[in-house]
Amino acid sequence: MPGSRFHSFLKQMMEFGFEMDRRIEQKEVDGLLGMHATESIPKGTVLGKFPAAMMIPACPSTDFSADPNREAHSLIHALAKQLADENSRYRCYFEYCGSVEEREHRSVCFFTQEEFGLLEKMNPMLAQLALTSKHLWMQMIDAVAAKDGSLDKKHIMLASFIYRERCWGRGLGFLPGIDLFNHNTKSLLAPQRTNIEGEDCVVLIADKTIEAGEEIKISYGKKDMYKFAFNYDFFDPEDFHVISYSARVTQPIADGFVEQVARNLEKHYQLSYFKMNGQTRFAINENHAFFLGQGPNKAMVDLVSRLAVNNAQALAQGQADEKTTARYMLYILQTFRGANRVQEIKKDSLPEKLRFYHDMLTAELKLLDANISAVKPRCA
């Protein structure tokens, strides 16, 4: 992609008050565009600045206040409105966002029944979560379309992709320019909102000295490796990978005791309840509990200790003892590992778009085995 396109984009964005350090250039390496330092950049440098006033505004005539997913649906609607408007002042914001057609060849949202079947052969849990991801995407589109019948569904579809791939939580939303930096989970660099000379801004501030030629990567946050695959349609084998119990598992409320366990969990986490096949289930919204490269982090141990409660005494204490916790954690890990059948499938037998899932599941096996080795001694 020619550098002139990047410079044209910067020039247009500067009209909105966007700034990027002059020592940063866009460069393609191994087929992937990224942001690289042309010379040494000191720690503390503002790498990019986006005025909060220049965020795409919500449409005041469409009310999402009663919508349980109002923040997401309102943002998707706002993006779709600007995508549909040929005279929108924000059109340059979408310069690097691609099209729906480009995603049809790679996104899980367009997988066929046969492709989901191949995922299921590699890992039925992965296939089910991929299908759920597709359904959630479709639900977002339908919810926004129902609110505003004037919008072409294709604009809503593209807006929903932009939301999945490029929008930030914590009320930051879509940050064009800042979204051009690639991800690395190990990075400590992330957008933050601050006031600069009286102006409310979202900024990237270098957390270390960046050497000449180095690619500048930012963190999109720690997310389960499956979720990264669904949202971004790629897998980076060199990245730092995590497995999130909360992102993968929902649990049925089978009896009164499980309901009490759920009430205890609510003291520490936000729970989401829903019906599936006539049965009430719950999901735990915990964004910090992970199985990491060498074992579970403390947040994961705490979460499992509350999940592993299996008698009245443990319920009164609010958590299970260490051995019961370790055994339950081992059960979770072995369940995840049992679902992973990637070793039975040859990578070159898969369509090109599915091969990175094979790489991901291969990496997952190593991560699960490391965690099983770390947890097993605690069960004795």
Residues 160, 253 within the same domain: no
Structural domain ending residue among the three candidates 170, 190, 211? 170
Q: Is the dihedral of CA 4, 8, 13, 18 positive or negative?
A: positive
Asked if residue 141 belongs to a domain, the reply is yes
Residues 153, 275 within the same domain: no
Residues 371, 280 within the same domain: yes
Asked if residue 307 belongs to a domain, the reply is yes
Can you give the pLDDT at residue 186?
A: 83
Asked if residue 300 belongs to a domain, the reply is yes
Residues 153, 257 within the same domain: no
C-alpha distances (whole Å) from 291 to each of 222, 366, 372 are 11, 12, 10
Asked if residue 49 belongs to a domain, the reply is no
Asked if residue 55 belongs to a domain, the reply is no
Q: What is the pLDDT along the chain (380 residues), one digit of tens a residue?
A: 446 899 999 999 999 999 999 999 999 988 888 999 999 999 999 999 999 999 999 999 999 998 888 999 999 999 999 999 999 999 999 999 999 999 999 999 999 999 999 999 999 999 999 999 999 999 999 999 999 999 999 999 999 999 999 999 878 899 999 999 998 888 889 999 999 888 999 999 999 999 999 999 998 888 899 998 998 998 988 888 999 999 999 999 999 999 999 999 999 999 999 888 889 999 999 989 999 999 999 999 999 999 999 999 999 999 999 999 999 999 999 999 999 999 999 999 999 999 999 999 999 999 999 999 999 999 98
Structural domain ending residue among the three candidates 150, 170, 190? 170
Residues 279, 360 within the same domain: yes
Residues 166, 247 within the same domain: no
Closest by alpha carbon to 131, among 145, 113, 144?
A: 113
Q: Are 97 and 175 in contact (CB under 8 A)?
A: no
Q: Is the dihedral of CA 264, 265, 267, 268 positive or negative?
A: positive
Could you please report the per-residue DSSP string of 19-81?
Answer: EE-TTEEEEEETTEEEEEESS-B-TT-EEEEEEGGGSPPPPTTS--TT-TTHHHHHHHHHHHH
Residues 254, 375 within the same domain: yes
Residues 250, 147 within the same domain: no
Asked if residue 65 belongs to a domain, the reply is no
Residues 156, 263 within the same domain: no
Cβ-defined contacts of 205-209 (< 8 Å, 24+) = 205/44, 205/45, 205/46, 205/47, 206/41, 206/42, 206/43, 206/44, 206/45, 206/47, 207/43, 208/43, 209/40, 209/41, 209/42, 209/43
Residues 256, 142 within the same domain: no
Asked if residue 217 belongs to a domain, the reply is no
Structural domain ending residue among the three candidates 119, 153, 170? 170
Name the domain count of the chain: 2
Can you give the pLDDT at residue 234?
A: 86
Q: CA neighbours within 13 Å on the CB side: how many for 314?
A: 20
Residues 166, 293 within the same domain: no
Can you give the pLDDT at residue 278?
A: 87
Q: What is the pTM of this model?
A: 0.90
Cβ-defined contacts of 346-353 (< 8 Å, 24+) = 350/118, 351/115, 351/118, 353/105, 353/106, 353/115
Token pair in block for residue 356: 């990175």
Asked if residue 346 belongs to a domain, the reply is yes
Residues 269, 354 within the same domain: yes
Can you give the pLDDT at residue 109?
A: 96
What's the domain range around 287? Answer: 241-379
